[in-house]
Amino acid sequence: MQRIYISALVDNHEGVLARISSLFTQRGFNIETIAASETSIPAITRITISTEGDEEIMNQMMKQTQKLEEVRAVFALEPSSSLMRELLLVKLEADETNRSYLREICEIYRAKIVDLSLDSMIIELTGEPKKLDAFLKVLKPYTIIEMCRSGVTALERGKMSYVLE
């Protein structure tokens, strides 16, 4: 099993995201991340889904998704030919004993400290999912109060390899 990424271009209507996520659930697949946003064409929404599976699972999910009426295009995103990003916000316990260490970690990963209080700090990091995973691994010795990840959003490099109908 490996992490697979599927992107769908769909009509920008209410309930489309729910229909697509429920399709995955009905087939017994766990969605690891899901991100949706309007595209440069306001009537079209891009949905990017990451899940665990193999090529057979990916092909099955793409075929099932393509059957939905609102779906214009579905395609696999290959990490080697796509630009993938995710946003992480993490709130850590921080005081005078560990603030400088946390600041150094942020500098190395090019993360931003976006909020600082007497007993905590919130850090923002954007990057490839692997970068966020590595950052969180380095933060393991510190107390994470809360964290939130946006889910992967991605675009294929180069010209579009699909045609909108």
If phi > 0 it is left, if psi is from -120 to 50 it is alpha, else beta; for residue 110 that is left
Give bridge partners of residue 154 from the DSSP assignment.
84
Clarify whether residues 48 and 68 are in a common domain.
Answer: yes
Clarify whether residues 49 and 115 are in a common domain.
Answer: no
pTM: 0.83
Identify which of 117, 114, 116 has the alpha carbon closest to the alpha carbon of residue 126.
Answer: 114
Range of the domain at 25: 2-77
The CATH number for 130's domain is 3.30.70.1150
pLDDT in tens, 11-50: 999 999 999 999 988 888 889 999 999 998 989 999 999 9
pLDDT in tens, 68-112: 999 999 999 988 889 999 999 999 999 999 999 999 999 999 999
pLDDT in tens, 133-154: 999 999 999 999 999 999 999 9
Of 35, 54, 77, the residue at which a domain comes to its end is 77
